[in-house]
Amino acid sequence: MNDELKADRAPAANAMWGGRFAGGPDAVMEAINPSIGFDRRFYAQDIDASIAHAEMLAAQGIITAEDGDAIRQGLEQIRGEIERGDFTFSTALEDIHMNVEARLKAIIGEPAGRLHTGRSRNDQVATDFKLWVRQAIDGLEDGLRDLQAALLDQAENEAATLMPGYTHLQAAQPVTFGYHLLAYVEMFGRDRSRFADARKRLNECPLGAAALAGTSFPIDRQRTAKALGFDRPTANGLDSVSDRDFAMEFLAAGSILAVHLSRFAEEVVIWCSPGFGFIQLSDAFTTGSSIMPQKRNPDAAELVRGKAGRVIGSLIALITMMKGLPLAFNKDMQEDKEPLFDAADTLRLCVAATAGMVRDLRTERPAMLAATQAGFLTATDLADWLVRRLEMPFREAHHVTGALVALAERQGCRLDELALSDMQAVEPRLTDDIYQALAVESSVASRQSQGGTAPARVLEAVTAARRRFLEG
């Protein structure tokens, strides 16, 4: 063994493990085993859960009221120390649970040893983790609501701003920019719904499951569940300590959210590029080049786009770790926290950055309008006119429209620049009315169906979305 590792070997057993272990852990074990480097983020949840547990123990007569009060006061003191930065975390004590318990013993003495009655670190960590994820979901809910509000404000302002709508990144039909933004309002609404569903399922309290089989002490699990804001206790102790579905669901919903954020970010990058020039972002969300002074790079959007892979990777890491684990708790499950912490931090930041970009962007309406003049965007309107006015079957109308598009391509002009006589050579029944149908403004205004791009429908949709997503 390396001399340095020998020198770092702990000389005595970890007291928290109990009397079975006579020797100390190897230095490598000391390096791989502790989780305090990351699970210290649970401190508030761990203290809240311990206070609820202690109060229940006292109410049930399992510990004295005096010990319950001492435990609560000591835990509140520890909370204050951590929040002030006065608490010393020890890797020798492995995790947040043991760090808090050891400090509690130093503060109140022997009563601290009664706190762990009727529970295990297995149900303790499951409870703390659920409380943390629940809080993370609530934070994302607030962030996504703010993002939708920003999108709705812009959609209202740009309800009549004409731009090309795309399929295959090819200009397809004219739409409005407000209509385009409303698509993302719907996406982020579904994200909020997924997180809300996940929150409902996770909101069962594992505390009292103990190691895996419950406890012989007369605990009141309903009381602790209610005190911690859970809907009910979990139904099966074995499942309680084995379950990480809530973490996987959070990361699954988070991965879909990350994809939506990335898709919007990609469009921001495209819209900012000189080939499009549809929007501008200010210096607040762009950077310059170290060598090319003319550059304005949409770095915020690119970073949001890039971080999607990080969130998706966290999901893959967790489900891969969980896939082969037998019941109940296994130390592998210590690997559940870092990916989720990182993903939650990343999502919160990306949602805030995206909301900031939405509020910051300024449209270049002339460039958007000019882009609608290329690509024969009103070809579908021509086919629809043939169906309505000439009662032509749509497939035949599609064929006639294709022939007129080919004619315009040969002449190097737009559809509305073709001479009526040239169009009548393809379809003799065409009249001057066709030119009104070929105007992009008319095309957009005609899309009056529910969910359509007509400016009046966009404004109605903004009002309806505000009611659905922002009120109540």
Q: Give Cβ neighbours of residue 420 (< 8 Å, ≥ 6 apart).
A: 430, 431, 432, 434
Peptide bond into 112 cis (omega under 30): no
Could you read off the pLDDT of 197-210 as tens digits, one per residue?
999 999 999 999 99
Please tell me the number of Cα atoms within 13 Å of 174 on its side-chain side.
30
Could you read off the pLDDT of 219-236 as tens digits, one per residue?
999 999 999 999 999 999
Res 175 pLDDT > 70: yes
* Mean pLDDT along residues 375-379: 90
pLDDT of residue 31: 87
97, 168, 193, 442: the catalytic one is 168
35, 262, 289, 314: the catalytic one is 289
Could you read off the pLDDT of 44-53 as tens digits, one per residue?
999 999 999 9
Cα–Cα dist 111/106, whole Å: 10
Scanning the structure block, which residue is given the tokens 């001479």? 419
- DSSP E strands in 279-361: the ranges are 279-280
pLDDT of residue 12: 44
Res 3 pLDDT > 50: no
Three-state DSSP at 163 gives strand
Could you read off the pLDDT of 154-172 as tens digits, one per residue?
999 999 999 999 999 999 9
Predicted TM-score of the model (pTM)? 0.91
289 catalytic? Reply is: yes
pLDDT of residue 362: 97
* Mean pLDDT along residues 395-400: 95
Res 364 pLDDT > 70: yes
pLDDT of residue 28: 87
pLDDT of residue 295: 67
Helix 245-272 and helix 337-360, axial crossing angle in degrees, nearest 10: 30
Cα–Cα dist 348/142, whole Å: 10
Q: CB of 336 within 8 A of CB of 317?
A: no
Q: CB of 237 within 8 A of CB of 221?
A: no
Confidence tier at 294 by pLDDT (50, 70, 90): low
Chain mean pLDDT for the chain: 93
Three-state DSSP at 363 gives strand
Res 1 pLDDT > 50: no
- CA torsion through residues 230, 236, 240, 244, sign: negative
168 catalytic? Reply is: yes
Q: 29, 3, 5, 2: which is closest to 17 by C-alpha? A: 29
Q: Give Cβ neighbours of residue 415 (< 8 Å, ≥ 6 apart).
A: 376, 378, 379, 382, 404, 405, 408, 438
Strands 170-176 and 162-167, bridge-based pairing? antiparallel
Confidence tier at 30 by pLDDT (50, 70, 90): confident
pLDDT of residue 26: 77
Bridge partner list, 433: none
pLDDT of residue 284: 93
Q: CB of 107 within 8 A of CB of 47?
A: no
pLDDT of residue 22: 59
| Cβ atoms < 10 Å from Cβ of 6 | 10
| Cβ atoms < 10 Å from Cβ of 257 | 26
421 burial type by CB count under 10 A (0-12 exposed, 13-18 middle, 19+ buried): exposed
Could you read off the pLDDT of 180-193 as tens digits, one per residue?
999 999 999 999 99
pLDDT of residue 11: 39
pLDDT of residue 8: 37
Could you read off the pLDDT of 87-142 as tens digits, one per residue?
999 999 999 999 999 999 999 999 999 999 999 999 999 999 999 999 999 999 99
Strands 362-363 and 279-280, bridge-based pairing? antiparallel
Cα–Cα dist 430/382, whole Å: 10
Q: 52, 63, 67: which is closest to 221 by C-alpha? A: 52
pLDDT of residue 29: 86
